[in-house]
Structure 1
Amino acid sequence: MESTFSGTIGVFDSGVGGLSVLQHIRAALPDAHLIYVADSAFVPYGDKSPAYIESRSSIISRFLIEQGAAAIVIACNTATAAAAAGLRRRYALPIIGMEPAVKPAVAASKRGVVGVLATTGTLESARFAALLEKYAGNVKIVTQSCPRLVEVVERGDLQGAEARQLVARYTTPLLKSGADTIILGCTHYPFLAPLIREVVGAQVQLIDTGKAVARELKRRIDLELPTLPPPPVDPEALPVLPTGTERFYSSGDPVQAERIMSKLWGRAVEVRSLA
C-alpha cells in the first residue's frame, strides 16, 4: 500500500553514496519531504575512528531534527556501526541504519560462498561480526576492504579507467574464492553496480540493502510516528516544506557537490552548505 506520509525524513551519509538509499526512500514515500546531508568534508568515514564518526553523526542528526525530521536514516554502513546505538539512546524517533545484507546473500548463494565488498570500518565492526555469527551458518564469507571505491564515486567516476581497475582488483579475490554472490556493503557501491556486473559477469548476484531499508523506514513510520511526541524544536522556527520534494546539503564544496549529486540523482539539484 502506498504511503501518504508527508512529514520530513532526514538522511545522511559520509558523502554522496547515500543517494542510492534516498532513491528507494523516495519510491516508498512519495509524499515525504526528504532532507539529505552529505558529510563530504569528512569523507570517507571508513578510515575514521568510531568516536569521530559518532561525533559527526550526532552533529548531523541534531541538524536534521532542528529541520523538523520525524525520522532519520543513517545511509552509511560505517556510521550505523559506530553511531546508531548512541543516537537511538539519545533521540525518541525512528532511526534506521544500514547493515551488510548477509542474511539474503547467504540465502541466494548456490555455491555456498559469499563475497563482501565494504569499508574497513564496516568489516572490523562488532555489528558485522554479529551478523556473520547469526546468519553465515555453513556458508563461506570472503571479505574485501575497498578503501578507494568511495573516493571514485565521490568524484562521479562510475565507468572510468581507475574505477574499473579498482573494481577488478577488489573483486578478483572474491571470484577466486568461488563467490557467486557479492554484497555491496557500502551505500556508495550501488552506483558502481553496472561496472561491477561488467567485471564479474552476469552469473554473480549483487546484493544491496537500499530497498529493504526504505521498507523498514516505511514500516516504522506507520507503526510509531502517530504515537511519538513531536520533535523537540519550536514549530514556528521550522521552514514550511513542500511535500514530495528534496533538500540537499553538503559539508564540503557545494559547487562540487551539486555537480556530482545532480549526476547521481538523475536531475539537477541545488546543494546548500552545511556549516
Structure 2
Amino acid sequence: MEKQKPIGIFDSGVGGLSICHAIRRALPEENLVYFADIGFSPYGVKSKDIINERSEYIVSFLINQGCKAVVVACNTATVNTISNLRAKFSIPIIGVEPGIKPAALQSKTGIISVLATEQTLESDSFQRLMAKYSKAVKINAIACPKFVTLVENLEHYSEQAVDVAEQYIRPLLTEGSDQIILGCTHFSFLRTIIDQVVGQEANVIDTAAPVAMEVNRRLDKLNLLNSKNTDIYAEFWTSGDYAKVIEPMSQLWGQDIHLFAIRA
C-alpha cells in the first residue's frame, strides 16, 4: 500500500509539469499529484520568507494527500527552501538546481551560461554553487522573466518566443558560451525554440531527466517504487483561478486533466 502512494510535485506555476513528464517517462507505474501555486506566482520576484512559507504549506498539503515523496519542481523554491524542507519533513524531498557542475566539466571554451529567474540567481545557494565552479569557468548568469511569461501564456512556440530567445541567448553565444543551462523548469517547454536559436553552437543542459533519475534512486533505496501497474493516475491542484489555469495545464500535460482548485 505504501508503494502505491503518489509522488507529489509542485511549482509556482505550470513549468514543473516538465518534471512531471520526465518522472512519468522514467517511472510509468507511479501515481502523481501536481500542485501549481498560481495564486502566488511567480516565485522569482517573491521574498525568501514568502517562498519558504508557501513551500512548507504545499509540502504539508501533499503529505495530507498521501504522497510518499515530494519533488520541488522549481529552481527558485529549491535554492531558497530545500534545506528547511528536509529538516522539517521526514519523507524524501527532491529538489532541482541548475546543472553548473556538468556544464563546467563539459565546457571546452571555458564559458558557460545559466538562464534562470532573478530570485534563483540572487539566492545564497546559487551564489555558493556558482562560486564553487567560477575558478574553473566563466559563468554568465542571466535572468529570463519573459521565458516564464511565454510558457504561462502558452506562447512558447510563437514567433515572439523566438525573438525573446534570440535576445537572451545570442549575446551569450557571441561571447563564446558552449554550455547553456536551463535553470528554471518552465524553460524546458521552450526547448524546441532554444535549440533552434542555439543550433550547433552550444550544448543545452536541462535537469528534468536527472531529477527523475534521482527520484527513482531515492524511492528504490527506501523500497518505495510502485510495482502495481493498474489504475495509475495523475492528479492536479492549483491555488489559482480554475478557469484560467485548466487550459494551459491540460495543453502542457498533453491531455485533458481533472483539476482541483483551493484557496490558500
Smaller-chain TM-score range?
over 0.9
1:262 aligns with 250
TM-score scaled by length of structure 2: 0.92
Partner amino acid for 1:150? Answer: V
For the aligned residue pairs, the C-alpha RMSD in angstroms reads: 1.7
Q: CA deviation at 1:225?
A: 5.4
* CA distance in 1 between partners of 2:223 and 2:12 (Å): 27
Is 2:236 the partner of 1:248? yes
Q: Structure 1 residues 243 and 58, CA, compared in 2 at 3 Å: closer, same or farther?
A: farther
* Structure 2, gaps ≥5 residues long: 225-229
Q: When the two structures are aligned, how many residues end up with a matched partner?
A: 257
> SS at 2:232's partner residue?
coil
* CA distance in 1 between partners of 2:177 and 2:167 (Å): 15
- Taking only the aligned residue pairs, the percentage that are identical comes to 45
The answer to whether the 8 A contact 2:116-2:183 is kept is yes
Q: CA deviation at 1:87?
A: 1.1
Q: CA deviation at 1:30?
A: 1.5
> SS at 2:164's partner residue?
helix
Runs (4+) of structure 1 exceeding 4 A deviation are: none
* CA distance in 1 between partners of 2:181 and 2:4 (Å): 32
1:102 aligns with 100
Q: Structure 1 residues 107 and 243, CA, compared in 2 at 3 Å: closer, same or farther?
A: farther
Q: CA deviation at 1:203?
A: 2.9
* CA distance in 2 between partners of 1:30 and 1:7 (Å): 14
Q: 2:167 aligns with which of 162, 169, 172?
A: 169
Q: CA deviation at 1:243?
A: 4.5
1:124-273 matches, cutoff 5 A: 124-224=122-222, 243-273=231-261
Partner amino acid for 1:263? Answer: Q
* CA distance in 1 between partners of 2:254 and 2:194 (Å): 20
> SS at 1:171's partner residue?
helix
The answer to whether the 8 A contact 1:31-1:243 is kept is no
TM-score scaled by length of structure 1: 0.89
Partner amino acid for 2:186? Answer: H
The answer to whether the 8 A contact 1:183-1:206 is kept is yes
* CA distance in 1 between partners of 2:179 and 2:231 (Å): 38
Partner amino acid for 1:159? Answer: Y
Partner amino acid for 2:157? Answer: Q
